[in-house]
Structure 1
Amino acid sequence: MTDSDQLVERKITSQKVFSGRLLHVYFDEVQLPDGTTSTREWIKHPGASAVVPIFENGDVMMVKQFRYPMSQIFYEVPAGKIDPNETADSTAQRELQEEAGLSCKSFVYLGHYYPGIGYSDEIIHLYTAWDITSFDQQMDDDEFVINNRIPFKEAVDMVHSGEISDGKTMVAILRAWHWWQNEGPFSVSSDQ
Protein backbone atom coordinates (compact mmCIF):
# COMPACT_ATOMS: atom_id res chain seq x y z
CA MET A 1 0.00 0.00 0.00
CA THR A 2 1.31 3.40 -0.91
CA ASP A 3 -1.83 5.55 -0.67
CA SER A 4 -2.68 6.55 2.92
CA ASP A 5 -6.41 6.41 2.11
CA GLN A 6 -6.02 2.65 1.75
CA LEU A 7 -5.34 2.41 5.51
CA VAL A 8 -8.78 3.68 6.59
CA GLU A 9 -11.03 1.38 8.60
CA ARG A 10 -14.79 1.87 8.10
CA LYS A 11 -17.29 1.59 10.96
CA ILE A 12 -19.99 -1.04 10.39
CA THR A 13 -21.67 -1.00 13.82
CA SER A 14 -21.10 0.77 17.12
CA GLN A 15 -22.40 -0.16 20.54
CA LYS A 16 -21.94 1.85 23.75
CA VAL A 17 -21.06 -0.73 26.41
CA PHE A 18 -20.38 1.63 29.32
CA SER A 19 -21.44 5.19 30.10
CA GLY A 20 -19.66 6.94 32.95
CA ARG A 21 -19.52 10.52 34.23
CA LEU A 22 -16.38 11.24 32.21
CA LEU A 23 -15.78 8.34 29.83
CA HIS A 24 -17.94 6.27 27.49
CA VAL A 25 -16.73 2.91 26.18
CA TYR A 26 -17.70 1.61 22.74
CA PHE A 27 -17.43 -1.76 20.99
CA ASP A 28 -17.39 -1.32 17.19
CA GLU A 29 -17.26 -3.67 14.24
CA VAL A 30 -15.09 -2.29 11.43
CA GLN A 31 -14.21 -3.17 7.87
CA LEU A 32 -10.45 -3.36 7.42
CA PRO A 33 -8.60 -2.09 4.33
CA ASP A 34 -8.44 -5.61 2.87
CA GLY A 35 -12.24 -6.05 3.15
CA THR A 36 -12.24 -8.33 6.20
CA THR A 37 -13.87 -7.31 9.48
CA SER A 38 -12.58 -6.90 13.00
CA THR A 39 -13.61 -5.24 16.27
CA ARG A 40 -12.41 -2.14 18.05
CA GLU A 41 -12.91 -1.20 21.70
CA TRP A 42 -12.42 2.49 22.34
CA ILE A 43 -13.10 5.25 24.84
CA LYS A 44 -14.91 8.50 24.02
CA HIS A 45 -13.43 11.41 25.98
CA PRO A 46 -14.59 15.07 26.05
CA GLY A 47 -11.06 16.40 25.50
CA ALA A 48 -8.87 18.43 27.81
CA SER A 49 -6.63 21.46 28.06
CA ALA A 50 -3.26 21.81 29.79
CA VAL A 51 -1.37 25.03 30.46
CA VAL A 52 2.23 25.85 31.42
CA PRO A 53 2.19 29.06 33.50
CA ILE A 54 5.51 30.94 33.27
CA PHE A 55 6.46 33.60 35.82
CA GLU A 56 8.54 36.68 34.99
CA ASN A 57 11.67 35.16 36.56
CA GLY A 58 11.35 32.02 34.38
CA ASP A 59 9.76 29.71 36.94
CA VAL A 60 6.82 27.50 35.96
CA MET A 61 3.98 26.42 38.20
CA MET A 62 3.55 22.68 38.54
CA VAL A 63 1.02 20.84 40.66
CA LYS A 64 1.62 17.62 42.57
CA GLN A 65 -1.38 15.33 42.50
CA PHE A 66 -2.15 11.73 43.49
CA ARG A 67 -3.44 9.68 40.56
CA TYR A 68 -5.52 6.71 41.65
CA PRO A 69 -4.99 4.35 38.65
CA MET A 70 -1.20 4.48 39.12
CA SER A 71 -1.34 4.82 42.95
CA GLN A 72 1.31 7.51 42.97
CA ILE A 73 1.89 11.24 43.07
CA PHE A 74 2.78 13.01 39.82
CA TYR A 75 4.14 16.41 38.87
CA GLU A 76 1.70 17.90 36.38
CA VAL A 77 0.87 21.16 34.68
CA PRO A 78 -2.59 22.57 35.46
CA ALA A 79 -5.05 20.69 33.26
CA GLY A 80 -8.59 19.42 33.06
CA LYS A 81 -11.38 18.14 30.89
CA ILE A 82 -13.38 20.41 28.61
CA ASP A 83 -16.87 20.88 30.05
CA PRO A 84 -19.98 20.94 27.82
CA ASN A 85 -20.32 24.25 25.92
CA GLU A 86 -16.78 25.25 26.93
CA THR A 87 -13.92 26.01 24.55
CA ALA A 88 -10.44 24.56 24.95
CA ASP A 89 -9.16 28.12 25.61
CA SER A 90 -11.63 28.76 28.43
CA THR A 91 -10.87 25.33 29.94
CA ALA A 92 -7.17 26.18 30.11
CA GLN A 93 -7.93 29.55 31.74
CA ARG A 94 -10.33 27.90 34.22
CA GLU A 95 -7.86 25.17 35.17
CA LEU A 96 -5.11 27.74 35.61
CA GLN A 97 -7.32 29.50 38.16
CA GLU A 98 -8.75 26.42 39.87
CA GLU A 99 -5.64 24.27 40.23
CA ALA A 100 -2.83 26.82 40.37
CA GLY A 101 -4.59 29.90 41.75
CA LEU A 102 -3.29 31.96 38.83
CA SER A 103 -4.61 34.19 36.10
CA CYS A 104 -2.72 35.58 33.14
CA LYS A 105 -2.76 38.52 30.78
CA SER A 106 -0.90 36.69 27.99
CA PHE A 107 -1.76 33.27 26.62
CA VAL A 108 -0.76 31.29 23.53
CA TYR A 109 -1.90 28.00 21.97
CA LEU A 110 0.93 25.50 21.49
CA GLY A 111 -1.03 22.88 19.56
CA HIS A 112 -2.54 19.60 20.62
CA TYR A 113 -1.72 15.94 20.94
CA TYR A 114 -3.52 12.60 21.29
CA PRO A 115 -2.40 10.67 24.40
CA GLY A 116 -3.98 7.27 23.66
CA ILE A 117 -4.57 6.78 19.92
CA GLY A 118 -4.92 3.02 20.20
CA TYR A 119 -7.91 3.11 22.57
CA SER A 120 -9.29 6.65 22.97
CA ASP A 121 -10.34 9.71 20.97
CA GLU A 122 -8.98 12.03 23.70
CA ILE A 123 -7.32 15.23 22.50
CA ILE A 124 -5.37 17.53 24.81
CA HIS A 125 -4.91 21.18 23.84
CA LEU A 126 -1.68 22.75 25.09
CA TYR A 127 -1.08 26.36 26.13
CA THR A 128 1.45 28.56 27.83
CA ALA A 129 0.58 31.58 29.93
CA TRP A 130 2.59 34.50 31.27
CA ASP A 131 2.02 37.95 32.83
CA ILE A 132 0.82 35.96 35.84
CA THR A 133 -1.26 37.15 38.81
CA SER A 134 -1.66 34.90 41.88
CA PHE A 135 -4.73 34.45 44.09
CA ASP A 136 -6.31 31.65 46.14
CA GLN A 137 -6.87 28.29 44.46
CA GLN A 138 -10.48 27.42 43.60
CA MET A 139 -10.24 23.63 43.34
CA ASP A 140 -13.14 21.24 42.91
CA ASP A 141 -14.37 19.59 46.13
CA ASP A 142 -12.81 16.24 45.21
CA GLU A 143 -9.49 17.69 44.02
CA PHE A 144 -6.34 17.92 46.13
CA VAL A 145 -3.14 19.39 44.70
CA ILE A 146 0.02 21.05 45.99
CA ASN A 147 1.55 23.84 43.92
CA ASN A 148 5.28 23.78 43.21
CA ARG A 149 7.09 26.66 41.55
CA ILE A 150 10.10 25.29 39.66
CA PRO A 151 12.68 26.96 37.39
CA PHE A 152 11.64 26.25 33.79
CA LYS A 153 14.97 24.63 32.84
CA GLU A 154 14.74 22.38 35.90
CA ALA A 155 11.26 21.24 34.78
CA VAL A 156 12.70 20.39 31.34
CA ASP A 157 15.49 18.43 33.01
CA MET A 158 12.88 16.61 35.15
CA VAL A 159 11.14 15.51 31.93
CA HIS A 160 14.40 14.11 30.54
CA SER A 161 15.35 12.39 33.84
CA GLY A 162 11.91 10.77 34.15
CA GLU A 163 10.98 12.59 37.35
CA ILE A 164 8.13 14.13 35.35
CA SER A 165 6.48 11.13 33.69
CA ASP A 166 2.91 12.28 32.98
CA GLY A 167 2.46 12.39 29.19
CA LYS A 168 0.52 15.66 28.89
CA THR A 169 2.97 17.38 31.21
CA MET A 170 6.02 16.13 29.33
CA VAL A 171 4.64 17.27 25.97
CA ALA A 172 3.40 20.60 27.37
CA ILE A 173 6.70 21.42 29.12
CA LEU A 174 8.81 20.58 26.06
CA ARG A 175 6.59 22.47 23.61
CA ALA A 176 6.38 25.47 25.95
CA TRP A 177 10.16 25.44 26.44
CA HIS A 178 10.73 25.38 22.67
CA TRP A 179 8.21 28.19 22.15
CA TRP A 180 9.62 30.26 25.04
CA GLN A 181 13.20 29.93 23.72
CA ASN A 182 12.36 30.61 20.06
CA GLU A 183 9.21 32.74 19.84
CA GLY A 184 8.30 33.83 23.36
CA PRO A 185 8.19 37.45 24.50
CA PHE A 186 11.71 37.30 25.92
CA SER A 187 13.34 35.02 23.35
CA VAL A 188 16.46 35.99 21.43
CA SER A 189 14.55 35.93 18.11
CA SER A 190 11.82 38.29 19.40
CA ASP A 191 14.48 40.92 20.22
CA GLN A 192 15.76 41.07 16.64
Structure 2
Amino acid sequence: MNKTTEDSHLIEQKIASQEILKGNFLHAFRDTVRLPDGSSATREYVRHPGAVCMIPLLDDGRLVLERQYRWPMQRVMVEFPAGKLDPGEDPLACGKRELLEETGYTAREWAHAGQLHPVISYSTEFIDLWFARGLELQERRLDDEEFLEVITATPQQLVEWCRDGIVTDAKTLAGCLWLQNVLSGAWKLDWRT
Protein backbone atom coordinates (compact mmCIF):
# COMPACT_ATOMS: atom_id res chain seq x y z
CA MET A 1 0.00 0.00 0.00
CA ASN A 2 1.28 3.44 -0.90
CA LYS A 3 2.05 5.36 2.31
CA THR A 4 1.63 8.71 0.52
CA THR A 5 -2.05 8.04 -0.18
CA GLU A 6 -4.23 11.02 0.71
CA ASP A 7 -6.72 10.04 3.45
CA SER A 8 -8.67 13.29 3.97
CA HIS A 9 -11.78 11.77 2.38
CA LEU A 10 -11.83 9.20 5.23
CA ILE A 11 -10.86 11.28 8.29
CA GLU A 12 -13.41 12.12 11.01
CA GLN A 13 -13.07 15.26 13.17
CA LYS A 14 -13.98 15.41 16.87
CA ILE A 15 -16.71 17.94 17.71
CA ALA A 16 -17.30 17.05 21.36
CA SER A 17 -16.21 14.45 23.90
CA GLN A 18 -17.86 13.06 27.03
CA GLU A 19 -16.25 10.80 29.60
CA ILE A 20 -18.69 7.96 30.34
CA LEU A 21 -16.59 5.75 32.64
CA LYS A 22 -13.35 6.08 34.56
CA GLY A 23 -12.63 2.78 36.29
CA ASN A 24 -9.51 1.25 37.76
CA PHE A 25 -8.57 -0.15 34.36
CA LEU A 26 -10.95 1.15 31.69
CA HIS A 27 -11.53 4.73 30.63
CA ALA A 28 -14.48 5.10 28.24
CA PHE A 29 -15.60 8.04 26.11
CA ARG A 30 -18.46 9.02 23.83
CA ASP A 31 -17.34 11.45 21.14
CA THR A 32 -19.40 13.30 18.59
CA VAL A 33 -17.57 13.46 15.25
CA ARG A 34 -18.00 15.20 11.94
CA LEU A 35 -17.93 12.67 9.10
CA PRO A 36 -16.21 13.32 5.77
CA ASP A 37 -19.59 14.14 4.15
CA GLY A 38 -20.33 16.83 6.80
CA SER A 39 -22.87 14.85 8.82
CA SER A 40 -22.22 13.86 12.44
CA ALA A 41 -22.09 10.57 14.32
CA THR A 42 -21.32 9.20 17.78
CA ARG A 43 -18.24 7.10 18.54
CA GLU A 44 -17.85 5.22 21.84
CA TYR A 45 -14.44 3.83 22.70
CA VAL A 46 -12.13 2.77 25.50
CA ARG A 47 -8.74 4.33 26.08
CA HIS A 48 -6.23 1.62 26.93
CA PRO A 49 -2.60 2.12 28.03
CA GLY A 50 -1.28 -0.66 25.79
CA ALA A 51 0.16 -4.06 26.52
CA VAL A 52 2.98 -6.44 25.68
CA CYS A 53 2.65 -10.07 24.54
CA MET A 54 5.55 -12.50 24.79
CA ILE A 55 6.19 -15.49 22.52
CA PRO A 56 8.49 -17.56 24.75
CA LEU A 57 10.56 -20.26 23.00
CA LEU A 58 12.06 -23.09 25.03
CA ASP A 59 15.39 -24.54 23.89
CA ASP A 60 13.65 -27.74 22.74
CA GLY A 61 11.37 -25.76 20.38
CA ARG A 62 8.24 -25.83 22.54
CA LEU A 63 6.33 -22.67 23.43
CA VAL A 64 5.31 -21.43 26.86
CA LEU A 65 1.60 -20.62 27.02
CA GLU A 66 -1.02 -20.00 29.70
CA ARG A 67 -4.51 -21.18 30.49
CA GLN A 68 -6.48 -18.48 32.29
CA TYR A 69 -10.13 -17.89 33.07
CA ARG A 70 -11.24 -14.69 31.36
CA TRP A 71 -14.33 -13.20 32.98
CA PRO A 72 -15.78 -11.38 29.94
CA MET A 73 -15.61 -14.60 27.89
CA GLN A 74 -16.78 -16.81 30.81
CA ARG A 75 -14.24 -19.48 29.89
CA VAL A 76 -10.65 -20.62 30.23
CA MET A 77 -8.56 -19.26 27.37
CA VAL A 78 -5.22 -20.50 26.00
CA GLU A 79 -2.92 -17.57 25.30
CA PHE A 80 0.63 -16.29 25.20
CA PRO A 81 1.78 -14.49 28.37
CA ALA A 82 0.93 -10.80 28.26
CA GLY A 83 0.41 -7.78 30.45
CA LYS A 84 -0.62 -4.16 30.55
CA LEU A 85 1.94 -1.39 30.38
CA ASP A 86 2.32 0.69 33.52
CA PRO A 87 2.41 4.51 32.97
CA GLY A 88 5.69 5.42 31.25
CA GLU A 89 6.92 1.82 31.24
CA ASP A 90 9.22 0.62 28.46
CA PRO A 91 7.56 -2.23 26.50
CA LEU A 92 10.57 -4.56 26.84
CA ALA A 93 10.72 -3.94 30.60
CA CYS A 94 7.01 -4.77 30.76
CA GLY A 95 7.58 -7.97 28.77
CA LYS A 96 10.37 -9.08 31.08
CA ARG A 97 8.31 -8.29 34.17
CA GLU A 98 5.18 -10.05 32.94
CA LEU A 99 7.03 -13.14 31.69
CA LEU A 100 8.62 -13.64 35.11
CA GLU A 101 5.45 -12.83 37.07
CA GLU A 102 3.14 -15.08 35.07
CA THR A 103 5.37 -17.99 34.00
CA GLY A 104 8.45 -17.85 36.22
CA TYR A 105 10.76 -17.59 33.20
CA THR A 106 13.47 -15.08 32.41
CA ALA A 107 14.97 -14.84 28.93
CA ARG A 108 18.52 -14.38 27.68
CA GLU A 109 17.45 -12.82 24.36
CA TRP A 110 14.53 -10.75 23.14
CA ALA A 111 13.31 -9.67 19.71
CA HIS A 112 10.56 -7.18 18.92
CA ALA A 113 8.24 -8.61 16.27
CA GLY A 114 5.62 -5.94 15.71
CA GLN A 115 2.49 -4.33 17.03
CA LEU A 116 -1.18 -5.18 16.72
CA HIS A 117 -4.42 -3.34 17.45
CA PRO A 118 -6.83 -6.06 18.62
CA VAL A 119 -10.12 -4.14 18.68
CA ILE A 120 -9.84 -1.06 16.44
CA SER A 121 -13.59 -0.46 16.38
CA TYR A 122 -13.86 0.48 20.08
CA SER A 123 -10.45 0.68 21.76
CA THR A 124 -7.12 2.49 21.49
CA GLU A 125 -5.37 -0.66 22.73
CA PHE A 126 -2.14 -1.74 21.08
CA ILE A 127 -0.09 -4.82 21.88
CA ASP A 128 3.64 -5.05 21.24
CA LEU A 129 4.70 -8.59 20.28
CA TRP A 130 8.07 -9.81 21.60
CA PHE A 131 9.86 -13.12 21.16
CA ALA A 132 11.90 -14.47 24.07
CA ARG A 133 14.44 -17.29 23.99
CA GLY A 134 17.18 -18.73 26.18
CA LEU A 135 14.56 -19.22 28.88
CA GLU A 136 15.52 -20.04 32.45
CA LEU A 137 12.95 -21.06 35.03
CA GLN A 138 12.88 -18.96 38.19
CA GLU A 139 10.06 -18.46 40.71
CA ARG A 140 6.69 -17.18 39.51
CA ARG A 141 5.39 -13.97 41.07
CA LEU A 142 1.69 -13.85 40.21
CA ASP A 143 -0.24 -10.69 41.03
CA ASP A 144 -2.88 -10.87 43.73
CA GLU A 145 -6.16 -12.12 42.26
CA GLU A 146 -4.29 -13.74 39.32
CA PHE A 147 -4.76 -17.47 38.75
CA LEU A 148 -3.33 -19.19 35.70
CA GLU A 149 -1.79 -22.44 34.58
CA VAL A 150 1.48 -22.49 32.61
CA ILE A 151 1.53 -25.04 29.79
CA THR A 152 3.81 -25.86 26.87
CA ALA A 153 3.02 -26.80 23.29
CA THR A 154 4.88 -27.40 20.07
CA PRO A 155 4.44 -24.83 17.31
CA GLN A 156 2.43 -27.44 15.37
CA GLN A 157 0.09 -27.99 18.33
CA LEU A 158 -0.46 -24.24 18.59
CA VAL A 159 -1.28 -24.00 14.88
CA GLU A 160 -3.78 -26.84 15.26
CA TRP A 161 -5.36 -25.20 18.32
CA CYS A 162 -5.75 -21.97 16.32
CA ARG A 163 -7.30 -23.89 13.41
CA ASP A 164 -9.65 -25.86 15.68
CA GLY A 165 -10.91 -22.83 17.64
CA ILE A 166 -9.22 -23.81 20.90
CA VAL A 167 -7.17 -20.61 20.66
CA THR A 168 -9.32 -17.59 19.79
CA ASP A 169 -7.38 -14.85 21.58
CA ALA A 170 -6.34 -12.18 19.06
CA LYS A 171 -2.82 -11.61 20.39
CA THR A 172 -2.10 -15.34 20.40
CA LEU A 173 -3.47 -15.76 16.87
CA ALA A 174 -1.27 -12.87 15.69
CA GLY A 175 1.67 -14.31 17.61
CA CYS A 176 1.14 -17.67 15.89
CA LEU A 177 1.26 -15.92 12.48
CA TRP A 178 4.57 -14.31 13.44
CA LEU A 179 5.88 -17.60 14.81
CA GLN A 180 5.09 -19.51 11.61
CA ASN A 181 6.83 -16.90 9.47
CA VAL A 182 9.87 -16.66 11.74
CA LEU A 183 10.27 -20.45 11.93
CA SER A 184 9.94 -20.76 8.14
CA GLY A 185 12.63 -18.11 7.63
CA ALA A 186 10.24 -15.77 5.79
CA TRP A 187 10.43 -13.09 8.52
CA LYS A 188 13.63 -12.17 10.34
CA LEU A 189 14.01 -10.99 13.94
CA ASP A 190 16.67 -8.71 15.43
CA TRP A 191 17.63 -10.53 18.62
CA ARG A 192 19.19 -8.63 21.52
CA THR A 193 20.32 -9.47 25.04
TM-score by length of 2: 0.91
**Which residue, 101, 104, 127 being the options, matches 2:104?**
101
Q: After TM superposition, list the pairs within 5 Å mapping 1:68-107 onto structure 2.
A: 68-107=71-110
Contact 1:127 1:176 in 2 (8 A): no
Give 2:136's aligned residue: 133
Q: 3-state SS of the aligned residue for 1:98?
A: helix
Residue 110 (structure 1) aligned with residue 113 (structure 2): yes
Separation in structure 2 between the aligned mates of residue 48 and residue 144 of structure 1, nearest angstrom: 19
Instruction: Measure how far apart 1:3 and its partner are.
Output: 4.3
2:34 equivalent to 1:39: no
Which of the two has greater helix per residue? 1
- For 2:177, the equivalent position in structure 1 comes to 174
2:30 maps to which residue? 27
- Inter-partner Cα distance in structure 1 for 2:180 and 2:101: 23
Distance in 1 (alpha carbons) for counterparts of 2:17 and 2:88: 25
Partner of 2:12: 9
Q: Whole-Å Cα distance in 1 between the matches of residues 181 and 97 of structure 2?
A: 24
- CA shift for structure 1 position 84: 0.9
Partner of 1:190: none
Cα displacement string for residues 59-81 of structure 1 (whole angstroms, at most 9, x for unaligned residues): 00001000011110010110011
Instruction: Report the Cα distance in structure 1 between the residues aligned to 2:103 and 2:117, rounded to whole angstroms.
Output: 24
Task: Kindly indicate whether the alpha-carbon contact (under 8 Å) linking 2:112 and 2:189 is maintained by their aligned counterparts in 1.
Answer: no
CA contact (8 A) 2:51 2:82 kept: yes
Measured on the aligned residues, the alpha-carbon RMSD in Å equals 1.5
Corresponding letter in the other structure for 1:8: I
Instruction: Detail structure 1 runs of 4+ shifted over 3 Å in the superposition.
Output: none
Secondary structure, counterpart of 2:36 in structure 1? coil
Shift of 1:158: 1.2
The equivalent residue for 2:125 is 122
The separation in 2 between residues aligned to 1:8 and 1:43, in whole angstroms, is 19
Unaligned regions of 5+ residues in structure 1, if any? 186-192
- Structure 2's unaligned 5+ residue stretches are none
The TM-score, its normalising length taken from structure 1, stands at 0.91
Using the aligned pairs only, state the percent identity.
34
| Structure 1 residue aligned with 2:147 | 144
Aligned with residue 164 of structure 2, among 158, 161, 164: 161
In structure 1, C-alpha distance between the alignment counterparts of 2:105 and 2:74, rounded to whole Å: 28
Does structure 2 conserve the Cα–Cα contact (< 8 Å) formed by 1:24 and 1:43?
yes
